[in-house]
Structure 1
Amino acid sequence: MILNVQNFINAVIWPSDNLDNYWDGRILCDVEAKLSIGLSMSVTGAIVSILRQTTIILNIDNVTLSPTSRQRMFKIAFEGTVCVLVPTIMMAVHYVVQSERYWILPVTGCTAAFDNNWVTAILMFTPPMLLCIPGSVYCIIVIWRIVKQKKEIASAIAFPGASSASRARFTRLSNLALVLFWLYLPLALYNFLQSCFPGRYHPFSWSFIHPPDWKDSIYKISGAPAITLDRWVQIGVGYMCFTFFGPGTETIEACKSWVKRVRLGLQEMIPSGVRRES
């Protein structure tokens, strides 16, 4: 949601190819460039975490109604690492290979800048690829258990106290994670292999990447594609999330509740005399 809000704002601020006539994006693009790196990694971490938890729930040979304290701590540590710690570190170390403050592209707007060297490949493109390795294992296990144990899975997800809505949410969430993983895996693999191509490299040099006038190095790239591949992926993921969860009963009820609250709030703002006359 945050990434797509950024995409909407950027498209409004930089709607055409003639970037020289538009704002240079100071402060806003500094924040957006870092967030795009951290949130993209967080999405991958969240998908892998969901797949991992799904494999545990579908392990009908070792069903645990109440996880031990050690299992809970490991779950918190794993999810905190891949969803928070690693993305935060990547946002911080991005400065090491940040050749310019940021780039501005038509419609796409604020974009994180990278220098083409081997350090960039290690710091920026290797972590998502490494995280996809356990993600691939979890994904294969989930698919295997769903195919081989359909009847047993129905009882496995019917854990005590769970309503039909909870089970439906679990099913939708698991299916969404599987679909997203097969979307993010090729993207991570593509970025990693592209970054490893030797012809793209030049030797790492801190003085070259961070010259004295670095803080003023803002590039407006007018000839770039209107919307880059990663932004299309973010837009597509937004539609997929709505497809899986938007039509759900709990979502519809939540929307009705919000409309009711807004209506009550508007009524309270109208003076009582005006309400009686109307």
Structure 2
Amino acid sequence: MGAENDAFTAFSFISFAVVLIPLPWHLEVWNTGTCLYMLWTATGCFILFIDSIIWDGSTENWAPLWCDISTRLIIGVSVAIPAASLCINRRLYTIARVRTVTTTWADRRRAILIDLSIGLGIPIIVMILQYVVQGHRFDIFEDLGCRTFIYNTPLAYPLVFVPPVVLGMISAVFSALTIRAFSLRHAEFKQFMNSNNMVTFNRYIRLMVLAALDILLTVPFTAYIVYSNLTQGKVAPWISWEDTHSGFSRIDHFPAALWKKNPAAHVSLELSRWGVVISALLFFALFGFADEAMKNYRKAYGHVASRLGVTVKSASSSSFRGTPGSSSNGYVHSLSVA
């Protein structure tokens, strides 16, 4: 295993594990946008981790069924991460307008359905539509694994290449509106936070940072992919379904020595897999060490220790106390603002 691929294998597995750590307590309080973010990034990290092991130093078609499924999911992940970020930014803007926290199940259900339609529905639609411009079954890149082949035709841009850029730009607009609303109504917003123990300022800021950094990663990278396809490769005219899918069962194989010789291809392929890992590590850096996370780590440690017969001394409440008025459920309810 080469040093470059070795490093990616380690980081992708670590990212898969740590991004799921905060999932249980976010699920308990219906943090739809962040749950989608965690699940999609974990899915991407797991697939890329497996690929980096199976196809380390090889281009053999070891697992054709795995490739059929995983390549489709990777397309979904590329759209789902900016879509989940949009869900978060949209809800942050609602909170910044200092409206009343949702109290009825009907309002909360509507908010959840909107998030699911964006963070789950849009990626599924793109995964389905991607088949329209899928020139052949898939490609296998040494060290990287399976990758879907998208026929570089004008129709591919609105169906596959452009949606992540559009989602990132919409998310950026919501982020800008959130900052503006926050600055204009800072005093009212602070009063709202202080009067509602379910919404904490620190959680709100962490979400803003996550969403903003995700925009900074998503928009330039996806725009670069679009630019690279337009300038580095020949854009072929769309002729017909039969022309695009001619010889569809073909599988192309690319040794590392070949795809690494092309600087644009090398950068694009490496960014496409490291971007998912960075998204996972970014989330853990912001939420993996929060007060609610540390409380759950201690609970898990205490549970395992008790099973092993180890006595754990309970820390005083003041040792781990968070900010005044904070609670483990706070940020989630802030995301339930109608």
| Common topology (TM > 0.5) | yes
Post-superposition offset of 1:4: 0.9
Which of 251, 262, 265 does residue 293 from structure 2 map onto? 251
Give the percent of matched residue pairs that are identical in Structure 1 and Structure 2: 24
Task: From the superposition, tell whether residues 251 and 67 of structure 1 become closer, same or farther in structure 2 (CA, over 3 Å).
Answer: closer
Task: From the superposition, tell whether residues 244 and 197 of structure 1 become closer, same or farther in structure 2 (CA, over 3 Å).
Answer: same
Structure 2 residue 254 is matched with structure 1 residue 221: yes
| Contact 1:58–1:145 (8 Å) recurs in 2 | yes
Which of 211, 230, 238 does residue 177 from structure 1 map onto? 211
Structure 2 residue 243 is matched with structure 1 residue 208: yes
| Contact 2:193–2:201 (8 Å) recurs in 1 | yes
Deviates more, 1:102-111 or 1:192-201: 192-201
Partner in structure 1 of residue 179 of structure 2: 143
RMSD, aligned CA: 2.8
Task: From the superposition, tell whether residues 9 and 130 of structure 1 become closer, same or farther in structure 2 (CA, over 3 Å).
Answer: same
Summarize the alignment of residues 15-164 of structure 1 with structure 2, pairs less than 5 Å apart. 15-16=56-57, 19-20=58-59, 22-60=60-98, 63-66=99-102, 75-158=111-194, 160-162=196-198
Task: From the superposition, tell whether residues 68 and 190 of structure 1 become closer, same or farther in structure 2 (CA, over 3 Å).
Answer: farther
Quick one: distance in 2 between partners of 1:69 and 1:218?
Answer: 50
Deviates more, 1:67-76 or 1:127-136: 67-76
Paired residues in the alignment total 258
Quick one: distance in 2 between partners of 1:265 and 1:77?
Answer: 40
Partner in structure 2 of residue 233 of structure 1: 275
Deviates more, 1:230-239 or 1:220-229: 220-229
Secondary structure, aligned partner of 2:236: coil
Deviates more, 1:1-10 or 1:195-204: 195-204
Quick one: distance in 2 between partners of 1:196 and 1:258?
Answer: 50
Letter in 2 for 1:200: K
Partner in structure 2 of residue 271 of structure 1: none
| Unpaired stretches in structure 2, ≥5 consecutive residues | 1-41, 261-265, 310-338
Which of 203, 210, 222 does residue 188 from structure 1 map onto? 222
| Contact 2:97–2:182 (8 Å) recurs in 1 | no
Post-superposition offset of 1:162: 1.4
- CA deviations on 1:108-165 (whole Å, 9 max, x unpaired) are 21212111101111210222233234222201112223444444432233453416xx
| Unpaired stretches in structure 1, ≥5 consecutive residues | 268-278
Letter in 2 for 1:220: H
Secondary structure, aligned partner of 1:200: coil
| Contact 1:97–1:209 (8 Å) recurs in 2 | yes
Task: From the superposition, tell whether residues 260 and 27 of structure 1 become closer, same or farther in structure 2 (CA, over 3 Å).
Answer: farther
| Contact 1:100–1:218 (8 Å) recurs in 2 | yes
Task: From the superposition, tell whether residues 162 and 118 of structure 1 become closer, same or farther in structure 2 (CA, over 3 Å).
Answer: same
- CA deviations on 1:82-128 (whole Å, 9 max, x unpaired) are 21222111111211111121122232212121111011112102222
Secondary structure, aligned partner of 2:150: coil
Quick one: distance in 1 between partners of 2:279 and 2:232?
Answer: 32
Task: From the superposition, tell whether residues 159 and 65 of structure 1 become closer, same or farther in structure 2 (CA, over 3 Å).
Answer: farther
| Contact 2:61–2:140 (8 Å) recurs in 1 | no
Partner in structure 1 of residue 38 of structure 2: none
The normalised TM-score by structure 1 is 0.80
